[in-house]
Structure formats: C-alpha cells, structure tokens
Structure 1
Amino acid sequence: MSRSLALRCHRLADDLAGVSLDAVDPTPPAAGQVAVSMRAAALNFPDLLMTRGGYQHKPALPFVVGMEGAGVVEAVGEGVTGWQVGDAVCVSDKSGCIAHHALFPAAALSPVPTGWDWPDAAGWQIGALTAYVALVVRGGLRAGETLLVHGATGGMGAAAVQLGAALGATVIATGSDPSWLERLRPMGATHLVSSRGDFHEQVKALTGGHGADVVYDPVGGDVFDRSTRCIAFGGRLLVIGFAAGRIPTLAANHVLIKSYSVIGVRAGEWLRQRPGDAPRIQGEIARLVAQGTFRPLVGAVFPIGRAIDALRALERREAPGKIVVEIGDA
C-alpha cells in the first residue's frame, strides 16, 4: 500500500483548528479487521461535534474523522470471512473514513448497492439506520398517519422522508430553503413547509386540526418547542438530535394533557444495546435499499484536499443533504 492522506483531529477546538490533513503510513489489518481503500466519505453532524468534544462518543486523540464512507477491500485480517480483496463495500463506524487507506472491523462493512456510484454509496447508511430505528422500531409509524420531518433537507431528514413515504404515511417536510425543499417531492414529501416562523399552524391546517402523529426532530431548540403545539393527541415525538444547538426542556403537564410520547432515538446505540435485533433490522434496511426506498440526497462533493472546507460547509449548512469528500486513489 502506498503512503496516504488522512483527515485527523489532534486536539479539540470549536473552530477546526485541531484538524489537519496528514500524510500517514498505512498499516496491515489485524485479526478481525479489513483494510479498505476508501473512495468517498460522507459527513455527518457528529463528525463536527467530535472535533469539539461535544458528542456522546469521544474517540481518543488523534483520530481520523468520518463515520461513513465507501471503498474497495484491499486486505483482510486473520479470521475474517465474507469479504475478499476487490469487494466494493460501504463502511459505517464511529470514525476513520476520511483517509486513502483505513482499517475497520469486518462487521462495519456492507456491500455497495448495485449500480450506485461512490458518493451515493458513501452517504446512505447512517441516515437509513436512524430513520428505520426512529420510525419503525421506536415510533411505530403506520400507513395513513401523518409524519412531520424536521431538518428534512439534511441527510438524516431526507432518509426519514423516503422511509415515511414508503411506509404509507403522509409526509410533511420542513426546512429553511424553499429550493432545497423542492428536491424532496420526488422522495415522497406530500407537503413542504418553511421551518421559519409558525410552522405549527400550517401543520394543524394541513391535518384539519389533528396534528402530526409522529414528529421526527433532529433539530431541537425552537423547532422542538413548536412541535409540541402541533403534535396529535397520542402522538410520538422522536428526539433525534439538537442541530439547532439548544437542548429544549418540556413541561410534563403538557405531555399529560395531550397524551403524547417523547422518545429518544440513538440508532447505533440501540443495536449495541440489543445486538439480537441487529440482523433483523439490517436485513430490513437491505430489503428497503433493494426496493429503491433509500437513496441519499448528495448536495456537494469536495476533493480530499479540501476536506476541512467540507467540514466548514457542513457547519455553515451550505448544501442540502449529504456533503461528500471524494477520496480516490492514493
């Protein structure tokens, strides 16, 4: 293997000052590991948070940034079965993806869906898993219900729009940019609503006063607060994250009066805490991918030489959907 580049975080800082693109020497895989020649990596908001020390998972410094990506198997460690040199694979792990050469546990790999290019293959797994655990496992979304998806023009939200439509729900998608929202219609969004201002009134109007049966909220802050004003009686409010920066609080008497549930969703942690569920969930997601339910919304592609610029673009929300770092050959 040739000398390669890797985007590494050496110290925690709010301005990416501790992140640099370094030349590194690849190492061979240990037992149970697979060496992957990465072709692309997709950014997620936790990637940014981890460089600040603001995420639940805090990898030891220095660490290679990037939770998901895709590439080609170049070597397998002792005891690895199911993968061989030359296989095209998707990768989902806690870090390590923005590099020419990377090592992952064999369980972090899955096959690239047939006919997908590298940017698409890099950017679908975390969104699909989060959407499935949220809407199916935790939220129990049913056909005929109304699903309100916040942050719908982001990678997590777009996956929820796609799955909600596939499950037979009426999907109301919110976002701040009208042109970005329009890209969600082909993905299954029934109604597009601006998240600026009193979106809760529009949701109530669109549902004839009933409100949303399920709310998918990766935003938090004011969006969460307003969602409690348009959730249906007996609805489910899914807490995915706090991209807005403010962690909201809630009056318990309001939950009582409207009899709704507030449900936390940590999709990866769900599988770690309930490993027996993993084969079924992963099998269902694979089936949905094969049916064409999931396909990421790729909003921007940066070369690896501009990987830090890609992180800044994510921070400033400069593109819809997934921001992808194209890696190519070392």
Structure 2
Amino acid sequence: MADDSWRLPSTVQELAAAVEEPPTRYLIPEEDRLGGHLASAEMPDPVPVIDLFRVSGSHGAAEAEQEAAKLRSALHSWGFFLVTNHGMETSLMDAMAPASRAFFQLPLEGKQDHSILKDGKHWRLEGYGNDDVNAQDQILDWSDRLQLRVEPQDERNLACWPKQPESFRDLLHEYTVSCGRIKDGILRAMARLLELDEDDCLIDELGDRGSTYARFNYYPPCPRPDLVLGIRPHCDVGVLTLLLMDRDVAGLQVLRDGTWYGVPPVGHGYGLLVNIGVSLEIMTNGIFRSPVHRAVTNSEQERISLAMFYAADLEKEIEPMAQLLDEKQPARYKRVKCRDLLAAHREYFARRERVVESLKIQ
C-alpha cells in the first residue's frame, strides 16, 4: 500500500516546538529567495483609512462625497483599506484576540477534537489543522488555522466549534453578526461608487445563502523566516474579507507593481482591514482588483489574525454585472458557479497560482 503520510503534515505549532530547522517541505523555491529574501519595502503612504459612518452619508452629503473619493482611491491603488468608525463595540474586538490565542494554547489533544481531518485522514474545509496537501512536492505554509463556517447560521457545524475557552462560541456569534453589518455598509458604499441602480446591488449578488467563513490564523515563531512563508502569495477568492490583524506583530505583505510592501499592525487602533476578493473583481469586471498578498514569519514572536471571508451562494453563478457592461467595456471574465470557483481556487492556491487568470476572456 502506498505511503500517504505526506498528505497529513504535523501541526506547525507542534513542529515549531520540536525542530531547530524547518523541514525542506516548508522552504520556498530558490528563485523566490532572490531580491532581499522575504524583506518588504515600507509602504509609500499610510494604509488608506475609510470612516464607514462618514461614507454612509450619516454626516451629510459633502462628507460622504469626500470619504467616497478616498475609498475610490484606495480601491484603485491598493485594493484594501482600514475601515474605522464601523460600529463594532471595542470590547468585542478586545475580546476576540485573547479568545483566539486561548484556543491555540490548548493542549494538542483538545484542539484535535475539532480536527480538519475527518476520521483522521480525510481533509475538509472546516476544523483545526492545515491547508489541504495535494502533491508530495507541495511547499507547505508555516501556519495553523481554525476555520469555521459561521453563515448561514442554520448550517453551522457546531461539532467543529471549540467549547474552550467557554466564551469562544458566544463571542464568535456576536462578532459574526457585527461584521455582517460592516460588510453590508462597505458593499453599499462600493455600489454607490459604481453608480449602480440600487445601494444593495452588490449585497444581492451574494444571494440568499451566501457563505461566511471565520478563519483563525496562528503563525508560530519560525527559525528561518528568510526561507519560509506563513501563507504563500494569493488572492482571496470570495467577495470581501474583513481582517482583524494582530495589533503588535507585523507579517502581512501586499504586492504592488512588482514590489512587496509590509502592512504595519494597527497598534491600539480599532480598524479592520478590508480586502477585495476575486469574486468581486469578476462582478465589477475588473474595476476593483483583488490584491496579491502573503504572510511572512519571524523568529521571535507568534502572530494571530482572524479573517472573515464572505462568499456568494455556492449555487450562484458569478459574472460581470450587466450594469457595468457596454460596447466599450465588454465582459472581461467568464461566468463561473461559485462552488466551482472555490474548488478551482484551492487547486491554484496549492500551485501558487491565481485562479482569476484562468477566468479572463482573452
């Protein structure tokens, strides 16, 4: 019988505590080590900051127009921005990071109760562990994760939801509801930028059964941060991502014009980083572009983040919106069912390629 043990790598947290050098499976290709290893340039300007209350028009038309101009600039220059004044309670944001950290600090046996491997060998999208390993020569990322489907609420698989710490489930539910309101406010602001007929046009594009996944990312210290990535370069595949970054430890980098730029942590701020996904790039016919980004490691500190991924209904077909097309601006992307896009993304992600390139109309 063939040895398939390579498909089931150890958790990185467990590995990091036991090795002085990363196994070769984690080392990036030689060609990617050129040009300053994994160092990044400092962003030429601060991360764009958008006041969600202002852009909604709650302060008046003039302030909304000014904030919308900032949003337009952020979307065209970087594809991401920090959203502030978003209405989430600061106490809730303060509670999420320690609750996340408490889960990853549990003994391995406790975390394995929520393993991403069904019956110990079949990978699934939800649970605790690593990304799917499809090939023996696949380069692995120096990170563990807990991924949970949080919406639709009636499709939550609570067997995957940790019971420890005791506050985890209630906090995640409250956080999900609050992030949903923020997501809707952002999509409405984008719809107005695109001059769509209705403010809810982009929200409606997700369908009645749109999916939301919460992904808790854990990056242990790495002995060779110059040779190992926390997460490989990629674009998020969904419509929108809301990221609660580690407030103190940097690690996120974004690619722009061939240069990797480091995104600084938010410190004691309460902003959420908003990232455009491939699905929204297709829907807007490339007006909004999904940024390529990656996570690097460091040798001294662990880092934790929480990403909320918003995707359309799995049975919904994603394509450029008709309102944005005309003879001068024909469709640039093929139509694709959301379920098929997510499956294709996992294959391209494993190969370190962008699925959106396969959907462009030549």
TM range, normalised to the smaller chain?
under 0.3
TM-score by length of 1: 0.25
TM-score by length of 2: 0.24
Point out which structure has higher relative CO (alpha carbons under 8 A, 6+ apart): 2
